[in-house]
Amino acid sequence: SVVAKARAEMDRNRNEEVYRFCFSALDLTTLSGSDSVRSVAEFVKKAVDVPVRFPGMPNVATVCVYPSFVDIAGLGVEGTNIGVTSVAGGFPAAQTYLEVKMLEVAMAVENGADEIDVVMNAGEMVEGEFDRLANDLELLCREAGQEVTFKVIIESGMLETPEDVYRASMLAILSGADFVKTSTGKSAYGATPKSAMVICNAIKDYYLQTGINVGIKLGGIRTVDDAVLYYTIVENMLGREWLTPSLFRFGASAPLANALLSAVTGGTQSYF
C-alpha cells in the first residue's frame, strides 16, 4: 500500500533539512482552556525568538490561536514572516448557529487573522447532509474573503470509511477550502496515515481536473517520526511541488515543535 511504501522509504527523509522544513510548516498552536492574553503573548514571543535562540532554524508558518487572541498574536508577530491562524466557526465541534459561525470568522479576519481554520460538522457529514454542509462552508469561505487562507477540518477519525473521508475532502475543496485538514486534535481521533492518503487522493484528483493546487494540513502530530512519515506520503502522492508551507502544514502544539528543535539541534529541547 501507499502507507507501507512510505514507511519503507522514510529513511531518505530522516535528515536536518526535512526536520527544518517540517518546523517551517508548523501552524504552532495554543488552544487551551487556560489561554490568556499574557500566556498567548508569551507563546507568540517564544515562536518569534526561535531563529535567535536556535540559529539556523526557520520561523514557523503561523501561530494558531482562538479568535479572541488574534489581535494579541498579530502584535506579537509584527515585522516577521509568521502569519496568524485563527480557529473559528464554533471550533472544535461546529455545533452552533450558522450566523454565529459567520460572525466569528468575520471578526477574526477583521482583527487581523491571515488564515482561518473551520470544522466541517461531522454529524451532518455522517448523515449525508451534503447540500447544507456545502452551503455553510461556502458562506464561511466568503466571510473569510479572498485574501485569507481558508482551511477546512474534516475530523477524519469520525468518518467511517475511506469513501467518507474522500467525499468530505472533495466537499471541502469544492466549497472553497485552500487546505483540507485531517482533525482538530481536540477529539480522540488524530490524523492517520490512511486518512492522509485519502485526502491526498482527493487533492490529486482535483488538481488533475482543474490544475488548482489545494494544500493538506495534518492535525495532532506529536513525534518527528510521524512528521517524516506524513512528509513522505505527501512527497510520494502529490510530488515535491507540495513540499512547501503554502501547500503543506502540520497543526501542532509544543510536543512536535520541541521534538523537531531537538532533532535539529541535538539534545532535548523543551523550549515551548
Query: Catalytic pick from 114, 117, 136, 164?
Result: 117
Dist. CA 25–CA 10, nearest whole Å: 18
Cell (9 digits) for 42: 508569551
Q: 206: how many CB neighbours lie within 10 A of its CB? A: 18
Q: Which of 27, 101, 181, 226 is catalytic?
A: 181
- C-alpha cell of residue 200: 491526498
Residue listed under C-alpha cell 472544535: 92
How far, in Å, CA of 216 to CA of 210, rounded?
17
Q: What is the DSSP letter of 25?
A: T
> Is-catalytic flag, 178?
no
| Angstrom distance (rounded) from CA 139 to CA 250 | 25
**186: annotated active-site residue:** no
Residue 217 catalytic? yes
**Cα 157–162–167 angle (5° rounding)?**
95
Single out the catalytic residue among 27, 151, 217, 226: 217
Using the CB atoms, write b or e for 38-60: b if 16+ within 10 Å.
Answer: eebeebbebbbebeeeeeebbbb
Which of 165, 186, 175, 188 has the alpha carbon at shortest distance from 143? 175
Residues labelled catalytic: 117, 181, 217
